[in-house]
Structure 1
Amino acid sequence: MRGSVCMCCTVFLRDSNKELECPSLAGRASDRLDPKHNKYEELVRKIRDHGQEIRDEDLSQLLKEARGCISMLNGNFRLFVQVVLILDWTHRSPEVVSEYQGFLLDLCAAHNYYTKHVIDQLITSFKRDSSEWKDGVPSEESVRRFQHIHDAIRQILTIVPMSKDILISQVQSLFPYFKRPAHEHETFIYNILQIIQYLPGERYGFLKMIITQLITLDVHSPRSALEEREPGGNMEVDGIFEMDDVKNPTAHSLDASLNILYRYLRDEASIAGSVNMDKMKPLFNDLVKVFEEVILPTHATQHIQFLVFFILGLKPPLCQVFIRNLWKKVTDPNIPPIIRQAAVCYIASIIARAKYISILTTQTQLTEMATWIHKYISSQDEGSVNMPAVDTRIHGVFYATCQALFYIIAFRYKELVHNTGLSMLQSLNLSKIVTCRLNPLKVCAPVVVSNFAAIARSFQLAYCYTVIERNQRSNLPIVNFDNSASSFNLASVHLDSFFPFDPYLLNRTKKFIEPHYREYTGPKEENVAISKPANDDDDDFLEGHPIAESAAAHFSYSTSPGFLHLHLQ
């Protein structure tokens, strides 16, 4: 060991009220081999085992003396440094807090190899919070303690250039495991969003990190489990929704985390309670970029996509930008078909469900969809007649776009008819679409086909039931010849689709979505009797022609359009 460190520190422990004298943290090498003189190891052990019992004045004195010989705290004294770093200091007196922050700053400045350990402990401290938060709002004590941590991080970022990269890397690696308690998730996310306040240039990266982690929570919170919650099982206590933590702990964590994120988006886009476009636009761009890179390619998420739904509700004119960008993906043949199909599902779902989507935007998008569909039909009619007409692998984007067209009409037909009469819907030439050789009515989700068919018949836009009945009579597997494998394979008849803005099921954060959310009010024909279960609060989309009963028996689909599946009688 090179040199010695003279730290004459006196530490008094409450439990024994006995004075521990440490004339030297490190003596001669021979002294360190003798247990009688091993005062350094004794000090380390005392701090490790009884650190929280050290009085504030003693801890402050220890830190002052450590800072006095900071240059000597090299790797030989790493155990001492480690036990000091794990101390819970944020609840201490202002003097201790100031000395501790100064110790961290001096340590990183003198020995930059300690920077990673320091940042690790600071980030880990974000998870140490036992106080109760009311509706996602931290207590004053929590805010004060977290502020001490952020002050230390800001100072380190100022004096250690490489510390920013270390911080970003360690935040990602220390993100709570998805099965950890909900409060740990919300405190951690709250503090990541606080870091953005002094690292605004890293907002996109941190939002991407948070949303990527929340997707894990989302996919582990299946809709079926949330829909099966017993009525009355979620109680509101002091403004906090207590979900069934036993059955749905992951969903509870997701709900608590999203609550923090919704509040952040709202506050970040506003000045004095009003949405400010100068603040909103860059935030919107960051969120949409994360959506396109992380959410859009992920199959069957249930709630995380509502972040985009929410932020568009803050400034509806941005909807046109969002929809236009998605439509460019749908019509770009260089983009993988699965992404194109997902994009058109998002277009259909947000136009159908968002109250803030204007009827003019709806009309424009329907026209673009119909134009693209007719061009596709024409190109197929001119192509090879030997190619199977119905094949979701080859024509998946076409079928997804047809379903999107039918879905939007089923939701918005009343406004469309009221605004332009039947002229706009008639201009879509729906009859040609439903009778073309590609036969979209056979591939689209039966629940969508059922409702669209009823509307089309009511307004004489197209006659779908003849096609539906013919499809049922010929509902046989389609055989395609796979040249690469020199064998026959069965192709799926049904379109694998999903409806991203199905009804929102998380109780605590539902309040952010409900003001902008459209429930379904579909056609009710005199000859249709619908039998509903006792719990009729769910959105109902399976209203239409009785032919849907037998159609539903033959088709299956990955997720519903967000409505309770009912039996037609």
Structure 2
Amino acid sequence: MSLWNYGTDVMDAMVELLISLAASSGQLVDLCLEMLVTNFMPPSSSSTHFIELLKQPRGVDKKHQVLDRVHSTFQDIANLVPLTPLRLEKIVRERMPNIYTKEPFIVMYVENMLRLESGAAGKLVGGSMIVAIMDRLIDLDVEIAWDDILQDDFSKGIFDMELEDLEGFSDHVQQDGNELTRESLIQRFFGGNLVAEKLDSLLVLTFEHLESCTESGRLIQVFETLLQSFQKTVLTAYKSKFAQFVMFYACSLDPENCGKMFASTLVDIFVSGVYPAWRMSAVAYLASYLSRAKFVTPSFVATTLESLVKWCFEYCNNQDGDINPKAHKVFYAGCQAIMYVLCFRMKSIISVPRLRSQLRLLRIEDILRHPLKPLQVCLPSIVEEFLRLAKTNGIFAVPDTFADYGMLESELSRAFGGIERLDMFFPFDPCLLRKSDRFIRPNFVYWSMVRSSYYEDEEDESASDEDITEAGVDMADDISVDEDIAHFDEFDYSLDKMSITPRDSSAKFGGRVHGFVQMPSKIRPSTSPESL
């Protein structure tokens, strides 16, 4: 018996009957709730008809007529039977559509779950709805197959540049001799991928719900549930590709509270966690978040780096052995995270005198020169870029030569990354989902933004510390600067106005000197039939 098949008069009579039945006998409550939940979506027997109908104004009106009655009836029954919300929670979770359900229907079901979360019963069932939605996002995410994050043969299918909508050369990538735009690449790898399209639509729905939570002052409450779900499902998922952007977007809506809570949780897991794989995953998330989140201040980045450096330094003091990628993989993951973050954020940190001094005081040099030799174990592409920037900016005393120049990875990096290749896990790489990208892009730092800011320094790598500081100040003419009232020497740079078109079209992670070094965050979508 579906409300979707009848007019408003019949709908009203049916819901009144359900309320009477639920009030008359406790044994009928679950049956009445199940009947209402089945109306979250149109009947499957007429799915094609309703999919077309929902594209029209009268179909949208029909949807509102049905769902408004469904949710008001939930409340009416709850007023008569106090335990209704808890019984409803179980039914909604059990009847949640699987990943193979048609996109309009699974989206509509999740809309109703979010409506319950923000409704009168939200205090009792809201957390459960959020967790169930995150679980389904992960289910969809892992169905989108990738061959590997990176391949040994760099010339086959790996993007030379991050996929950005840029002008000029950086709006295109070279693949098999053909020039392809970002849009055409997304279409090539995701066009017709129904799972990716469902995930994209559900992410947009979740982002919009987070915005409404912000407006109603409930974001922190919802974020605490999201954070718990993240630790149980997303963090432990094998190289989640897109679901984690729910956390990124929530943090962008409230950097001061949600953003700092997220980073602090990741630090705690890395420092005090039990399982090595989870600790390595946590520090990979932390490094990627600090590097990519435009809304994270240089001051907070420096403070968080200090926590990572402190742990790595204490670890070194308790070790007297030599290189052993497998035995010390958590340590190497921490070292790589430090260098990765500095590749993205060194310029913004050293442009603030107080933070520059704070960075100099960190025991990074002692860690890098320890017999465990992290410079030889971490990804060569990250090490090379870090050493180049450190030398250019005169922050650390670094080796003049590095054996693995020009290498994306090495046998040692593969060893510490393990079978999961956590050495190559950069969870907040650019989002390749078309609809979700518009939410992420305004708050996202692309490598070309950072790379262009270092370009002038590359013209004169022998510049003095004073010259470098002046160059950083001169760059501020083209950057939006916010002054921290509490610290007059601290600035938060907006990268919106920076030129993000590299002057050298071959510029990649690793600089122009070694132009063949690939971005370590490149991902290669699978072209196998299973992923299309």
Check whether the contact 2:406–2:516 (CA below 8 A) recurs between aligned residues.
no
**1:398 corresponding residue in structure 2:** 331
Structural mapping, 1:473-484, within 5 Å: none
Structure 1 residue 359: deviation in Å? 0.8
- State the secondary structure of the residue aligned to 1:505: coil
Is 1:413 the counterpart of 2:346? The answer is yes
Alignment match of 2:242 (pick from 298, 303, 322) = 303
- Are residues 207 and 96 of structure 1, via their aligned partners in 2, closer, same or farther at CA, if it must alter by over 3 Å? same
Structural mapping, 1:171-190, within 5 Å: 171-190=92-111
Letter in 2 for 1:561: S
Letter in 2 for 1:357: V
TM-score, length of structure 1 as denominator length: 0.67
Is 1:519 the counterpart of 2:446? The answer is yes
Check whether the contact 2:39–2:66 (CA below 8 A) recurs between aligned residues.
no
**2:403 corresponding residue in structure 1:** 468
Structural mapping, 1:362-381, within 5 Å: 362-381=301-320
Structural mapping, 1:261-272, within 5 Å: 261-271=206-216
**1:543 corresponding residue in structure 2:** 511
**1:121 corresponding residue in structure 2:** 35
Structure 1 residue 352: deviation in Å? 0.5
Separation in 1, partners of 2:268, 2:312: 15
Structure 1 residue 114: deviation in Å? 3.8
Check whether the contact 1:392–1:493 (CA below 8 A) recurs between aligned residues.
no
Structural mapping, 1:51-70, within 5 Å: none
**1:314 corresponding residue in structure 2:** 253
Separation in 2, partners of 1:369, 1:182: 42
Structure 1 residue 95: deviation in Å? 2.7
Structural mapping, 1:247-396, within 5 Å: 247-271=192-216, 276=217, 279-318=218-257, 319-332=259-272, 335-381=274-320, 385=321, 389-396=322-329
Check whether the contact 2:239–2:427 (CA below 8 A) recurs between aligned residues.
yes
- Are residues 212 and 265 of structure 1, via their aligned partners in 2, closer, same or farther at CA, if it must alter by over 3 Å? same
Check whether the contact 2:142–2:240 (CA below 8 A) recurs between aligned residues.
yes
- Are residues 151 and 131 of structure 1, via their aligned partners in 2, closer, same or farther at CA, if it must alter by over 3 Å? farther
Structure 1 residue 264: deviation in Å? 0.6
Separation in 1, partners of 2:234, 2:60: 32
- Are residues 113 and 537 of structure 1, via their aligned partners in 2, closer, same or farther at CA, if it must alter by over 3 Å? farther
- Are residues 248 and 219 of structure 1, via their aligned partners in 2, closer, same or farther at CA, if it must alter by over 3 Å? same
Check whether the contact 2:77–2:84 (CA below 8 A) recurs between aligned residues.
yes
Is 1:143 the counterpart of 2:53? The answer is no
Separation in 2, partners of 1:494, 1:250: 24
Structure 1 residue 315: deviation in Å? 1.5
Separation in 1, partners of 2:188, 2:96: 23
Separation in 2, partners of 1:216, 1:362: 32
Structure 1 residue 169: deviation in Å? 1.9
Letter in 2 for 1:287: L
- Are residues 560 and 210 of structure 1, via their aligned partners in 2, closer, same or farther at CA, if it must alter by over 3 Å? farther
Structure 1 residue 350: deviation in Å? 1.0
Runs (5+) with no aligned partner, structure 1? 1-85, 236-240, 481-489, 529-535, 553-558
Separation in 1, partners of 2:181, 2:38: 38
Separation in 1, partners of 2:93, 2:278: 27
- What's the C-alpha RMSD, in Å, of the aligned pairs? 3.8
Check whether the contact 1:454–1:545 (CA below 8 A) recurs between aligned residues.
no
Letter in 2 for 1:184: F
**1:452 corresponding residue in structure 2:** 386
- State the secondary structure of the residue aligned to 1:390: coil
Separation in 2, partners of 1:248, 1:517: 25
Letter in 1 for 2:75: R
Separation in 1, partners of 2:405, 2:183: 46
Select the structure with the greater relative contact order (CA < 8 A; seq sep ≥ 6). Answer: 2
Letter in 2 for 1:546: H
Moved more, 176-185 or 426-435: 426-435
| Aligned residue pair count | 431
Alignment match of 2:121 (pick from 189, 199, 202) = 199
Q: Once the two structures are aligned, what percentage of the paired residues are identical?
A: 23
- Are residues 513 and 245 of structure 1, via their aligned partners in 2, closer, same or farther at CA, if it must alter by over 3 Å? closer
Structure 1 residue 188: deviation in Å? 0.7
Separation in 2, partners of 1:256, 1:537: 34
Structure 1 residue 117: deviation in Å? 3.4
Letter in 1 for 2:382: V
**2:136 corresponding residue in structure 1:** 213
Check whether the contact 2:306–2:362 (CA below 8 A) recurs between aligned residues.
yes
Check whether the contact 2:292–2:446 (CA below 8 A) recurs between aligned residues.
yes
Structure 1 residue 124: deviation in Å? 2.3
- Are residues 247 and 342 of structure 1, via their aligned partners in 2, closer, same or farther at CA, if it must alter by over 3 Å? same
Alignment match of 2:87 (pick from 166, 183, 207) = 166
Separation in 2, partners of 1:245, 1:106: 49
- State the secondary structure of the residue aligned to 1:300: coil
Letter in 1 for 2:433: L
Runs (5+) with no aligned partner, structure 2? 43-49, 149-156, 164-179, 462-503, 526-532
Structure 1 residue 125: deviation in Å? 1.9
Q: Deviations over 1:50-94 (max 9, x none)?
A: xxxxxxxxxxxxxxxxxxxxxxxxxxxxxxxxxxxx2x3246343
Separation in 1, partners of 2:229, 2:505: 33
Structure 1 residue 161: deviation in Å? 4.5
- Are residues 117 and 538 of structure 1, via their aligned partners in 2, closer, same or farther at CA, if it must alter by over 3 Å? farther
Structural mapping, 1:239-250, within 5 Å: 247-250=192-195
Structure 1 residue 224: deviation in Å? 6.6
Separation in 2, partners of 1:293, 1:513: 23
Structure 1 residue 223: deviation in Å? 5.7
Structure 1 residue 548: deviation in Å? 7.2
- Are residues 374 and 356 of structure 1, via their aligned partners in 2, closer, same or farther at CA, if it must alter by over 3 Å? same
- State the structure with more CA Rg: 1
Check whether the contact 1:192–1:206 (CA below 8 A) recurs between aligned residues.
yes
Moved more, 412-421 or 401-410: 412-421
